[in-house]
Structure 1
Amino acid sequence: MKNTLLGLSLLLCSTSLAAAEELHLFNWGDYTSPELLNKFEAETGIRVTTTDYDSNDTALAKISAGGTGFDLVVPSAHFVQIYVEKGLVQKLDLTRLPHHGNIKPEWMDVEWDKGRAYSIPWQWGSTGISVDTAVYSGDANTSDIFLNPPDALKGKINVVPEMNEIVNLAVMWAGGKPCSEDVAVLKKARDALMNAKQYWLSMDYGTTERMANGEWAASVNWSGETFRARLANPNVVYGYPKEGYPLWMDSVMLLSDAQNVDAAYKFLDFIMLPENAALISAFARYPNGITGAEDFMPADMQTAPEVVIPEASRAAGHFLPTCAGKSMDYMTAIWTELQK
């Protein structure tokens, strides 16, 4: 009987320990390197479960509702302060992150998280235009592609359903700045979006495969998604709208109600090692914010036009601020009308 009880006790203890060695990551779809997760589990014994989301708004709504069981989330820069202000994430204990100094200086003291008190870089990139040059060989470096489409692209265009990026692309095309409250600019942006919608085939996220296989001839798209599409279809090019385009960085944050805090800190420190950050980039094809990671990344990322922003296009890129007040009201009204 004693042996039986001892065996049962050891089994329960073992099960409890195994349950503790878990981590739950809430991240964008098709954005987490399986090789990275396998390496992390092999080195730490911690098993990472990932759950995908398709937009910042979707992720925020789910986290805000509570009870998710997630430990880490990966929002874009203009959502970081929203998470902080809502109390959804906890300030990082930097003493538990010995590799925190590996964050590149330009990504350390960022506007959305001074000194990286709450977030760790994941990847960064831009939102621009993918075009299949077999269908259209004109200028891809303009938001006219989706706001005033050439005849060759009408009915063949996808627009990713991200409110902040799409409305602000239209605002910049109309001559305004992100989070504008200029009614004349906003009306021009709204009218252009509403008129152009008739020429769009879809508003969807599946940009890599559908651009690669020719289902779409153009799409408002992210730089890394376009890079991956080009690797499968050399006719795909990436355009940086000369009227203005969003830059962004996604970062990992520790949720306030995280259950696996120790495992989360191990993971956060793990992804700040350059060879591990490189695995993230090699999979999704975006650069990251970790010093020395380039030395471990695929050679084709060193010169890829989707990664290395052309000199002529750099000034047109803007990190989106966190829109609030009237600007958010206007943006939401435009987006709501566009969805009808």
Structure 2
Amino acid sequence: MKNSSRGGDLKRLALSVMAASAVTILPTHVSAQESLNLYNWGDYINPEVLTRFTAETGIEVTLDTYGSNEEMLAKLQAGAKGYDIIFPSVHMQDVMAHLGMLEKTDINQYTGFSHVDPAFLTATTDPKGEYCLPYAWGSVGIVYNKKLAGKVTSWKDFFALTEKGQKVTMLDDMRETLGVGLIMNGNSVNSTDPDELKAAAAFLEPYKQGIAAFTYDSIPMVQSGDIAAAHWYVGAMMYVTQAPDTLDYVIPAEGATKYQENMCVLKTAPNKENAIRFLEFFTQPEIAALNTAQQMNGTANKDAIELLPDALKNNPNVNPAADTMSRLQMFTDLGKGLRLYDRVWTRFKTSQ
């Protein structure tokens, strides 16, 4: 929710749900002895998880939200204070680790860590789980309006819509969007080869006229029929289940990216003990399952999967088969190679 779910519409949804659940949401944070301040993706945590944590511990939880890894990092580097826990994607966790921003929690020594699938210890800076708790994962594929788009199974189908005069949107995310071009050319989404990146942009170029926007706020447009399809996160399944006759989500046949978010404690956290208590609380399979059942993304807690409703546990988009998983690629920290993406992305977006 990368939900996975991201974007402004999801931020608004998260805020309204959180308010209804009596969880305090404040634009700024004041440190208190029994408080915990989270900074998370737009709607990437079930409000009931937070109310249960407060009921069990007496620790009051506040939540602020962000729409991208870059937004989160920029705010922290600009001097934002008071946050205890953040939820970076794995490649951003590695970036923040190199910047010395993360606290060593030794969460891997906690008994509940045994519920975590070792396959999700994917951060190169934290291969044992000494710093962060693997949290959630999902794919980034296509959500579409069936009444406009018909059946969509691939990126080929997605781009063909633009050739038929239909409108689509893609994420305002250079790595995700250029990643589609890389995938379609048979290249790694972590390529730093200048020619491969230029070719990725060149693949996308002919379809730009049909791309209505590069945005995170695509769901309302797909729901209303203003666009036929959107490049978006598996968290779209929340909306698909509400309108199955109109909406659907697919992991494209050619492959896609996948994201994994981890739960990390900041070195500057004012409430480190409370933050570690929250990580320990979240290792419980029933709590991880509670979050996943509402968020409709994947979980890193292997014992939580059996607690999910069958409709979710057996959903091929949420828990894909092995052959689908083999076609999903996850971003890594590119270091200085990211500058090349910046240049190619800027040139692509500003070209006529």
Q: Which is further off, 163-172 or 254-263?
A: 163-172
Counting only pairs closer than 5 Å after superposition, residues 162-173 of structure 1 correspond to structure 2 as 162-173=173-184
Counting only pairs closer than 5 Å after superposition, residues 129-144 of structure 1 correspond to structure 2 as 129-142=142-155
Would you say how many aligned residue pairs link Structure 1 and Structure 2?
319
User: TM-score by structure 1 length?
Assistant: 0.86
Q: CA RMSD in A?
A: 2.2
> In structure 2, how many angstroms separate the alpha carbons of the residues matched to 1:201 and 1:129?
15
The residue number in structure 2 matching 1:316 is 327
Seen in structure 2, the aligned counterparts of structure 1 residues 36 and 130 have a Cα distance that, compared at 3 Å, is same
Seen in structure 2, the aligned counterparts of structure 1 residues 211 and 332 have a Cα distance that, compared at 3 Å, is same
> In structure 2, how many angstroms separate the alpha carbons of the residues matched to 1:291 and 1:176?
31
Seen in structure 2, the aligned counterparts of structure 1 residues 335 and 210 have a Cα distance that, compared at 3 Å, is same
Shift of residue 149 of structure 1? 4.0
Seen in structure 2, the aligned counterparts of structure 1 residues 119 and 174 have a Cα distance that, compared at 3 Å, is same
User: TM-score by structure 2 length?
Assistant: 0.83
Seen in structure 2, the aligned counterparts of structure 1 residues 320 and 231 have a Cα distance that, compared at 3 Å, is same
Counting only pairs closer than 5 Å after superposition, residues 60-79 of structure 1 correspond to structure 2 as 60-79=73-92
The residue number in structure 2 matching 1:59 is 72
Residue 107 of structure 2 contacts residue 279 of structure 2 at CA under 8 Å; is this kept in 1? no
The residue number in structure 1 matching 2:45 is 32
> In structure 1, how many angstroms separate the alpha carbons of the residues matched to 2:80 and 2:205?
38
- What SS does structure 1 have at the residue aligned with 2:299? coil
* Off by >6 Å, runs of 4+ in structure 1: none
What residue identity is the alignment partner of 1:242? A
The C-alpha deviation readout for 1:98-145, integer Å capped at 9, x for no partner, is: 422221232246546301122112210111111222112244222562
- What SS does structure 2 have at the residue aligned with 1:83? helix
Identity of aligned residues (%): 27
Shift of residue 161 of structure 1? 1.3
> In structure 2, how many angstroms separate the alpha carbons of the residues matched to 1:212 and 1:231?
12
Is 2:342 the counterpart of 1:332? yes
Shift of residue 88 of structure 1? 0.9
Segments of structure 1 that go 5 or more residues without pairing to the other structure are 1-17
What residue identity is the alignment partner of 2:324? S
Residue 136 of structure 1 contacts residue 153 of structure 1 at CA under 8 Å; is this kept in 2? no
> In structure 2, how many angstroms separate the alpha carbons of the residues matched to 1:154 and 1:330?
31
> In structure 1, how many angstroms separate the alpha carbons of the residues matched to 2:217 and 2:194?
33
Seen in structure 2, the aligned counterparts of structure 1 residues 51 and 191 have a Cα distance that, compared at 3 Å, is same
1:154 to 160, 163, 166: 166
What residue identity is the alignment partner of 1:328? L
The residue number in structure 1 matching 2:308 is 297
Larger Rg belongs to: 1
What residue identity is the alignment partner of 1:133? K
Shift of residue 97 of structure 1? 3.4
> In structure 1, how many angstroms separate the alpha carbons of the residues matched to 2:342 and 2:52?
42
Shift of residue 330 of structure 1? 2.1
Residue 153 of structure 1 contacts residue 218 of structure 1 at CA under 8 Å; is this kept in 2? no
1:97 to 97, 101, 110: 110
Shift of residue 328 of structure 1? 1.7
- What SS does structure 1 have at the residue aligned with 2:155? coil
- What SS does structure 1 have at the residue aligned with 2:37? strand
Seen in structure 2, the aligned counterparts of structure 1 residues 294 and 208 have a Cα distance that, compared at 3 Å, is farther
What residue identity is the alignment partner of 2:235? G
Residue 126 of structure 1 contacts residue 223 of structure 1 at CA under 8 Å; is this kept in 2? yes
The residue number in structure 1 matching 2:3 is none
Residue 107 of structure 2 contacts residue 131 of structure 2 at CA under 8 Å; is this kept in 1? no
The residue number in structure 2 matching 1:251 is 262
> In structure 1, how many angstroms separate the alpha carbons of the residues matched to 2:192 and 2:77?
27
